[in-house]
Every structure is written in structure tokens, then in C-alpha cells.
Chains A and B, each alone.
Chain A
């Protein structure tokens, strides 16, 4: 029995890239199958005017329709008539993808350094508020129009990165110098972030013209601009430039981890802290540095949430930071994989809305369907991560002198 499990884990750990992709798609298919049965059965317990009558029961929900909406609805129904690639559903999908790339990178960087950063959400909240406040403040000193955009957007993103980075450095320092478990401190700091920002908002930054808890809107020229002619329209709250920036950042982080000495030290501290320390890595500094970098990426997610989606900071921050954890695990903590995982999450989030409006399936059930897909697709990667602790990774491949496997 034990041997069997070991053999299975071994197989999983040593699966090639192609095998892993095939496994992912098989898992996706299985999730859809199980979810479809679930939707169909729950339709039997719902009440509706018209449905499919079968064996004395009326089934209200059509699983085919649900998955059609989930996957094609999120792209704006490309098989239907008058499809335009610049439609709002696709903009929603890509907006979510962009934000989750930042959040996913944040979690992935910490993971690779051997730290479990659950505080991306808090770093995102703090970074977002700092972005909004800084831009609002700076806007009164900066001319409007194009010059304003060129100055204010980088200032805003930088402010978000600094805010998030600082907020990420706190648990890093606590871990390095007080030996406080980063899982616990980051969770706690999430709550503190919510409380402090909410207090700050009502103390000083609340928009007096709005009934909702939010800051004043930043000037329009301070929002992330769109590419003229080929981009999505300004009111779609999505910018191709932002997605481009996310892609560049993704490649940069991958390069940083794989090709620089900082990245090498970061990864060795993650895999084997003692060996890293023996090799001359300042362990404490590395912990603080990687948490700061992770927090800064979370803060950037907050900055883009403010400057691209809303134009102001809202007290009800969606759980992008927590989704970032799932994105990172799904991507096997590989910075380049984060893009694909974030895209899947984008599809699920935009498709859920499409299901909501087009069918009577309740949002809770849609949440279960998305959850099933994530669970199934992430599980093999998750077992790989666990499996690596029990299976000797290097028995198949000869040891390398630098960097190890690129995809570990």
C-alpha cells in the first residue's frame, strides 16, 4: 500500500510538462462532469415554471447551458452572432486576469523563498488605499491631460508597491528577528489592514458625495490609459497596457528568480535554509527582502485595482489576495505559470456572472462549480508539492550546478 502511494507520488513528481498539461485538462474535464451532474440534480430540487420533466421530477437547470455560459460567456459568446473581441465580458475576464497575475506573483515569490504569505490581501488593501490617497494628493500639483497620466500613473503604482512592500516587510521582520510564524502574522495583519484602512477612510478620506464607503475618485487622466484604436473602450475598466505590464512583470520575476544571484539565494533559502546559510546567505535579511518583494507585488495589485477598475478605493475589497494563493498553487509557484492560472480564474469569475444573468442557477451553486474546477485542477500540483517532500527528486535527473530545474 505504502509502496503504491510512493510509486504514484513518484510518478506525479517526475511527470513531464506535457504529462502535467494533460493531467490538468483531464482534471478540468472531470470537474466539469461532476459539476454538471451536481447542477442537474440540484435543478430537481429547485422550482421553476418550465423545465425538463423526467421520471416524475422537474429539472430546472441545464448543465450544458451552465458550462456554455461559464466558458463561452466569459469570452462574450464568440459562437453567437455579432461577436466583437472588445466586448465587456472579455474585458472582465482579462481585468480579473491582470489583477490576479499581480496577486499570484506576490504569493509565488514568497512561496519560493519558503514563506507562506497569506497576507497578500492585506498588502493589497493597504497598497490600494495608499495609491488612491497619493494620486489624489499629487493630482493637485501636477498638470492634467497626457502629462498628468505619465506622471500620476507611475506615482500611483509606486505608492501601491511601497505601501504593500512595507506592509509585507512587517511579518518578514517579525519572522526573521522574533521567530514569529509568518502564516499567523500575515493572517492577523489582514484583519488589521481592514480595520486600519476603514478607520482612516472614515477619519479623513471618505468621499462626501457618495453614500458608499469609498475615497474620492482620482481624476480621469490618472487612471490607467487605454491603447487608442485597438484597445477596449475606457468604460470597460480594463486596459491592455495593464495586462502588458503584468506580463512584463511576470517575465521579470521569472528572470529575477532564475537568473540573478538574488533569485538564487531566495530559492535556496526556500529549498534548504541551512544550506543557504552555510553558503553565505544572510537568512534574516533574505526573509525580510522576499516578504517585502512579495508585499510590493500585492500592493501593485491594489494599485491596479484602484487605478484600472474603479478610479477610487472602496472599503469592500474583493478577495483578490486570497484568490492569489490559489492562483499561485495552481501554477506550481512558477511565475510564468501564474499567467495561465490567473486566466482560468478570470474566466471563472466573468463566466460566473454570465451564468448569473443568463440562467436561474443561484450564485452559491456557481461558486461550487468554480470551486470544483479549481480543486480538481490544483490537486495534482498540490500532491506534487507534497510528494516532493517524500520522494527523492534528484534520483532521476543528475544534480545540476546552478539553479536546479527551471520548473520546480
Chain B
């Protein structure tokens, strides 16, 4: 009996070890080496923010579809984890490109680009000067200026659509930021200037929640703004911004989305999202991957993307955008042209 059991254990052990050796790969893994391999390091909001990070993922998914690249993803939980996430990709040497999403990765990447000088990197939203890093920056102030113009015009108009309506007696709009940083402040500055340009009498309320991941905080902040008379609130706050939409919904006011067309990605709130300032992060990721595949990756370059490339756009809401009066949309369009032509100077600092 004892012997049987021992033999059984021995047998299972051997079988188990043999099986283990062949089993540690992923199910259905394709052979290595043929593909282009991309490592994605997302910003701290993580995937599922229906905004910045998901937009970046769109880019790599598109590359997967068109070129069959394979990719792995890391979602660091805090700023201190960026370094490790970038390094574990670079260290393995298996990745043709490591995409760093978000300005907060700048410090970590500056060190890692030097340490792993053979590794190609790209970074979005900030500039890292190194021969193996391609930096993509967007002209957020111009886009924010545009949606600011829209908000400034709309707050004085009697406008009701979907679940919201404006209060034409109050000439107030709001801005909710995530963490207080030069980048988010540039959204703020552009927005404020845009409102001022369209409607010099309008008041702009602004607040920073201090977090890109605090939906409750975003809702609380936006509700205070709506209660003090704001008709429209623009957010640049990642997932915190979902709270702004929730507040708009419950207060029957409007909101402006950011990064992607949030009236689509946040369909539940399409009835209060008049517009979104779309930032084509996916384009940046996709072109970077494309250049790696074409062997045309140029490090050390800074790519500036703006209104003229349609990399920054004002996209009206799917559900209520059509109801915005034509004179307003025409004015916004002419403002866009003026910015491109250089007739309007958009500030990038408060």
C-alpha cells in the first residue's frame, strides 16, 4: 500500500515536471522572432480610462491588425513604478520599441534611455532628448482654446439638448484638472484664453482634484461648479473626468470631454457631452510602430502634432453635438483657422 502510494507520487512527480517544462509558454504562443514586438508602458490611470491610455492602446491594436505586431503591456500603479516597468521591457531585449505613455515617465525614461542605448523608445506628451527616443508632443493649448471658445459662446446661449440645458443668466464655465502639472496647466491656460476670446465677461471656475483616478473627487468638484452656476465643465483629468460627466448628468448641465471622443467611449453620458478635445495619441503610437517596421525609426526627434494635422481636434458629441446652433460651430471653425494661420496666439501657461 505504502509502496503503491510512493510509486504513484513518484510517477505523478515525473509526469508533472515533464509537463511543466512544456507548459510554461502561453496558450497558442506563436514562434518568437518573426514579429515586431512592442512594449507598452501606460500612464498611472491605467487601461479602462476610456481616455488617454485606451487611446494609446488603440494605436497599438491598430498596428496589431495591420502589421501583425505583437505587444505586451504594463500598467504601473504609481510614478515610482515607471522605472521598473520600462526596464523590464528594455532589459529583456525582446522589444523593438518601448512606448512610454504620459509625461510622468520623463524622468525614468531619461535615465533608461541612457542605460539602454540600443533600445528604441517613444514617449508621448513630453520631450526626452536622447538619440534613441522619439518624442511626441501635442498642441493641447490650441485644442483647449477651441473648446474654450465653444464653452464661452454656449454659456450665453439658451441651449437645451439631451439631458442638459444652459442657464443663460449665468455666464460661467468650469475646468477640472487631474494632477497639477505644467501639462495640465497648459490645458487650463488654453481653455481660459479661449473662453476669454469668445466671451470676455464669462467667469472660469477651476480646480485640480490632485489625482487622475479619483472619480468621486471629480464628481464632487464638478458638482460644486455646477451649483455655483457653471453651464459647461471641461476636464483634463483622465478617469477622474468620469465624475465630471456624472455630475453633469445629475445636475442637468453640460461637459466637455478630453483625449478621445468621450461621447462614444462614455456612451452613458453622451446626452451631456457637447464636445471632446480629441488628442490622437493612437496616431502617435501607430506612426512610431510603423516607422520601426519600416526601419525608419528616427530617435532624437520631436514630433509636434497640432490642429493642422488633425491630431488635435474639437469633435462634437455624437448625441447632442448636432443641436449646437450653426453660428456657434461656424465661429469655432473660424477660430480654428485663425489659430492655424497664426492670427490668434494661444498661451500655454497660466
* A and B together in one complex: yes
Residue numbers of A with Cβ under 8 A of B are 43, 49-52, 59-62, 64-65, 68-69, 87-89, 92, 210-214, 235, 237, 309-310, 314-318, 353-354, 356-360, 363
Complex Cα distance A241/B40, Å?
Answer: 34
Task: Give, as a whole number of angstroms, the nearest-CB distance from B306 to chain A.
Answer: 20
Given contacts A51-B28, A212-B104, contact A64 B23 (CB under 8 A): yes
**Which of B27, B88, B89, B111 is within 8 Å of A59, CB to CB?**
B27
Task: Give, as a whole number of angstroms, the nearest-CB distance from A54 to chain B.
Answer: 10
Q: Interface code B203-215, partner A: CB below 8 Å = 1, 0 otherwise? A: 0000000000000
- The answer to whether A88 and B87 have CB atoms under 8 Å apart is yes
Interchain residue pairs A-B with the least CB separation, the first 6: A50-B28, A68-B24, A316-B78, A64-B23, A52-B27, A51-B27
Decide yes or no whether B13 CB sits under 8 A from chain A. Answer: no
Interface residue ranges of B1-40 to A (CB < 8 Å): 19-20, 23-30, 39
Q: Interface code B166-181, partner A: CB below 8 Å = 1, 0 otherwise? A: 0000000000000101
Given contacts A60-B27, A211-B103, contact A357 B181 (CB under 8 A): no
Complex Cα distance A358/B89, Å?
Answer: 9
Complex Cα distance A250/B80, Å?
Answer: 26
**Which of A49, A213, A360 is within 8 Å of B179, CB to CB?**
A213
Listed A/B pairs (12) with beta-carbon separation below 8 Å: A43-B27, A51-B27, A52-B28, A64-B24, A68-B20, A69-B24, A88-B91, A212-B107, A237-B83, A353-B85, A356-B85, A363-B77
- The answer to whether A211 and B89 have CB atoms under 8 Å apart is no
Complex Cα distance A89/B89, Å?
Answer: 11
Most buried by A among B73, B79, B81, B181: B79
Complex Cα distance A360/B84, Å?
Answer: 18
Majority secondary structure of chain B interface residues (helix, strand, loop or mixed)? helix
Decide yes or no whether B115 CB sits under 8 A from chain A. Answer: yes
Given contacts A89-B88, A213-B179, contact A310 B80 (CB under 8 A): yes
Most buried by A among B26, B29, B83: B26
Cβ contacts under 8 Å, A211 to chain B: 103-104, 106-107, 126, 181-183
- The answer to whether A235 and B23 have CB atoms under 8 Å apart is no
Complex Cα distance A356/B75, Å?
Answer: 8
Cβ contacts under 8 Å, A87 to chain B: 91
Complex Cα distance A316/B43, Å?
Answer: 14
Most buried by A among B20, B87, B104, B115: B87
- The answer to whether B79 and A357 have CB atoms under 8 Å apart is no
Decide yes or no whether B220 CB sits under 8 A from chain A. Answer: no
Cβ contacts under 8 Å, A356 to chain B: 73-75, 85
Complex Cα distance A357/B29, Å?
Answer: 15
**Which of A59, A65, A212, A353 is within 8 Å of B74, CB to CB?**
A353
Interface residue ranges of B182-219 to A (CB < 8 Å): 182-183
Residue numbers of B with Cβ under 8 A of A are 19-20, 23-30, 39, 46, 72-75, 77-81, 83-85, 87-89, 91-92, 103-104, 106-107, 111, 115, 126, 179, 181-183
- The answer to whether A358 and B23 have CB atoms under 8 Å apart is no
**Which of A61, A69, A314, A357 is within 8 Å of B89, CB to CB?**
A357
Complex Cα distance A58/B28, Å?
Answer: 11
Given contacts A211-B182, A316-B79, contact A357 B88 (CB under 8 A): yes
- The answer to whether A65 and B26 have CB atoms under 8 Å apart is yes
Closest to A63 in B: B23
Complex Cα distance A309/B79, Å?
Answer: 13
Complex Cα distance A68/B92, Å?
Answer: 16
Cβ contacts under 8 Å, A60 to chain B: 27
Closest to A65 in B: B24
Cβ contacts under 8 Å, B30 to chain A: 50
Complex Cα distance A94/B4, Å?
Answer: 42
Complex Cα distance A59/B183, Å?
Answer: 41
- The answer to whether A210 and B23 have CB atoms under 8 Å apart is no
Closest to A305 in B: B80
Task: Give, as a whole number of angstroms, the nearest-CB distance from B345 to chain A.
Answer: 24
Q: A211-B104, A212-B79 are in contact. List 19 more A-B contacts (CB 8 A).
A: A49-B28, A50-B27, A50-B29, A62-B25, A65-B23, A65-B24, A89-B88, A210-B106, A211-B126, A211-B181, A211-B182, A212-B106, A214-B79, A214-B107, A318-B80, A356-B74, A356-B75, A357-B89, A360-B26
Cβ contacts under 8 Å, B19 to chain A: 64
Cβ contacts under 8 Å, A358 to chain B: 72
Complex Cα distance A314/B39, Å?
Answer: 25
Cβ contacts under 8 Å, A49 to chain B: 28
Closest to A367 in B: B77
Given contacts A52-B27, A65-B25, contact A316 B103 (CB under 8 A): no
Cβ contacts under 8 Å, A363 to chain B: 46, 75, 77
Complex Cα distance A127/B301, Å?
Answer: 41
Closest to A233 in B: B115
Complex Cα distance A358/B74, Å?
Answer: 9
Given contacts A50-B30, A88-B88, A357-B72, contact A64 B20 (CB under 8 A): yes
Complex Cα distance A50/B29, Å?
Answer: 7
